[in-house]
Chains A and B, each alone.
Chain A
C-alpha cells in the first residue's frame, strides 16, 4: 500500500491545478495556429511546446537544474540568443534599397513612435516602467529585440511579450491596411516612386561597417544586437565567406530558434501567465502595431512636404520591422490603388531600416532604465 502511495506521489498528476489545464489549452491553440494556419510556425510551434512542457509539473524549469532552465539561462538571461538571431537576420538582409535611398532610414525611425505610445499606455495601465518599456518594444515588431529587452529589464514578462509580438506579426496583414487607408488619400497611395539605383558591392560592404560604428558608439546598449546584425550583413556582402554566411542564415538560425522558442515558452507556467495583466499586454500589442503603422505613414507624409520626389506614404507603414511581411502588405495596398504600382522593393527600405530603429529604441530603453 505504501509502495503504491509513494509511486503515486512521484508522478506529476498530484501537482496539477486548474491553471495548468488552461495553459495546455493555450498551447494546443498555438500548435493549431502554427501547423494548420501557418502563424509564424518557426517560433510559435517551439514556444507552444515549451508552454506545454512547463505546465507538466517537473524539474524541467528548476533554476540550476532543469534542462529548459539551462536553455533559458544561457540563452535568454544571458541575452546570447537574440543577438545570434540578429546575426542570422543580418546575413539574410539586403540593404540595397536602404543604401539607394537613405531617406528611408528616417521611416524606420518613424514607426518607433508606436513603441512610445504603447509605453505610456502600459504605464497608464499600471505596469512598472521596466514592464512598460518591454511592452512598448512589442511595437517595434521585432521578436529578438523584444526578448532582449525583456531579459535586461523585465524577465518575467519575456514569455508574454514574445508571444504577443509574434502573434501580432502574423496579424500584420490585417492590422496595417485599415490604418494605412485611414491616413492616406487614394491619390497619395497612387504615387509612383522612381526606380532604385543600382547599389555597388563596395557600398554594401561599407554599410554594415559604418552602421556598426555609429550605432554602437551612439547607443552602446544596443551593441550586442547591432554588432551581430552588422557582422552577419558583412559576412553576406563580402562575398568571400559564403559558407559562413550560409551557415549564419540557415543552420545557425535554425539551431538558435529551436532553443529560443522552447525556452521562451517555458517561461510561461500557469502561475505567471494567468493574470489579467496578460490581457492588457495583448490589448496594448494591437495598439502598438497600429500606432507604429500610423507614425510611419504620417512621417512619410510629413517628409513629402519637403521633397520634390514624393515618397508613397504607404511605405511608411513598412517601417514596422516585420520583415518582409510589412513590405508585402505595403505592396498589396499600393496595388489596390494602382495595379501597376510595384512598391515592394521601395517598401523593403523602411522595412529593414525599422530593424535598426527598433534596436536603437531598445538600446535607449536599456541605457536609461538599467
Chain B
C-alpha cells in the first residue's frame, strides 16, 4: 500500500491501541491502588 495510507493506518491504530491499553491499565492500577489503600485502613483499624 502507499506510504501515506500506511502512515495513516499505523498512526490511527497506534493512537487507538495506545489509548485503549492505557485505559485498561489505568483502570487496573486504580483498582490496585484502591485495594492497597483499603488494606492499609483495615490494618489501622
A residues bordering B, Cβ < 8 Å?
98-99, 102-103, 105-106, 108-109, 112-113, 115-116, 119-120, 123, 129, 132-133, 199-200, 202-203, 205-207, 209-211, 214-215, 218-219, 353, 356-357, 360-361, 363-365, 367-369
Give the A-B contact count at a CB cut-off of 8 A. 110
**Contact among B3, B4, B26, B37 with A210 in the assembled complex (CB-CB below 8 Å):** B26
Tell me, in angstroms, the Cα distance from A356 to B43 when the chains sit together. 37
- Proximity string of chain B (29-41) to chain A, C-beta cutoff 8 Å, 1 when within and 0 when not: 1101110110000
The reply to whether the CB of B16 lies closer than 8 angstroms to some CB of chain A is: yes
B residues near A219, Cβ cutoff 8 Å: 14, 18
Tell me, in angstroms, the Cα distance from A105 to B6 when the chains sit together. 24
Pick 16 A–B contacts, CB within 8 A, sort by A.
A99-B26, A102-B22, A102-B23, A105-B22, A116-B11, A120-B4, A129-B4, A132-B4, A199-B30, A200-B37, A203-B33, A206-B26, A206-B30, A210-B25, A218-B14, A369-B7
Q: Are B30 and A203 in contact (CB under 8 A)?
A: yes
CB distance from A302 to the nearest CB of B (A): 13
A residues near B34, Cβ cutoff 8 Å: 200, 202-203
B residues bordering A, Cβ < 8 Å?
3-4, 6-8, 10-12, 14-23, 25-27, 29-30, 32-34, 36-37
Nearest residue in A to B31 (C-beta to C-beta)?
A203
A residues near B26, Cβ cutoff 8 Å: 98-99, 102, 105, 206-207, 210-211
B residues near A209, Cβ cutoff 8 Å: 29
Tell me, in angstroms, the Cα distance from A219 to B4 when the chains sit together. 19
CB distance from A96 to the nearest CB of B (A): 11
Q: Are A129 and B14 in contact (CB under 8 A)?
A: no
Tell me, in angstroms, the Cα distance from A255 to B11 when the chains sit together. 33
A residues near B32, Cβ cutoff 8 Å: 206
B residues near A353, Cβ cutoff 8 Å: 19
**Contact among B3, B10, B17, B22 with A129 in the assembled complex (CB-CB below 8 Å):** B3
Q: Are A105 and B33 in contact (CB under 8 A)?
A: no
B residues near A113, Cβ cutoff 8 Å: 12
**Contact among A98, A102, A112, A363 with B12 in the assembled complex (CB-CB below 8 Å):** A112
CB distance from B1 to the nearest CB of A (A): 12
**Contact among A214, A360, A363 with B25 in the assembled complex (CB-CB below 8 Å):** A214
Q: Are B30 and A365 in contact (CB under 8 A)?
A: no
Q: Are A206 and B8 in contact (CB under 8 A)?
A: no
CB distance from B10 to the nearest CB of A (A): 5
Nearest residue in B to A113 (C-beta to C-beta)?
B12
Helix, strand, loop or mixed for chain B's interface?
A: helix
Q: Are B4 and A99 in contact (CB under 8 A)?
A: no
Q: Are B18 and A218 in contact (CB under 8 A)?
A: yes
A residues near B23, Cβ cutoff 8 Å: 102-103, 105-106
Q: Are A115 and B33 in contact (CB under 8 A)?
A: no
Nearest residue in A to B25 (C-beta to C-beta)?
A210
Q: Are A364 and B29 in contact (CB under 8 A)?
A: no
B residues near A103, Cβ cutoff 8 Å: 23
Tell me, in angstroms, the Cα distance from A129 to B6 when the chains sit together. 12
Q: Are A202 and B37 in contact (CB under 8 A)?
A: yes
CB distance from A301 to the nearest CB of B (A): 17
Q: Are A206 and B18 in contact (CB under 8 A)?
A: no
Q: Are B8 and A120 in contact (CB under 8 A)?
A: yes
Q: Are B7 and A119 in contact (CB under 8 A)?
A: yes
A residues near B17, Cβ cutoff 8 Å: 218
Tell me, in angstroms, the Cα distance from A103 to B32 when the chains sit together. 18
B residues near A132, Cβ cutoff 8 Å: 4
Tell me, in angstroms, the Cα distance from A203 to B17 when the chains sit together. 22
Tell me, in angstroms, the Cα distance from A202 to B29 when the chains sit together. 9
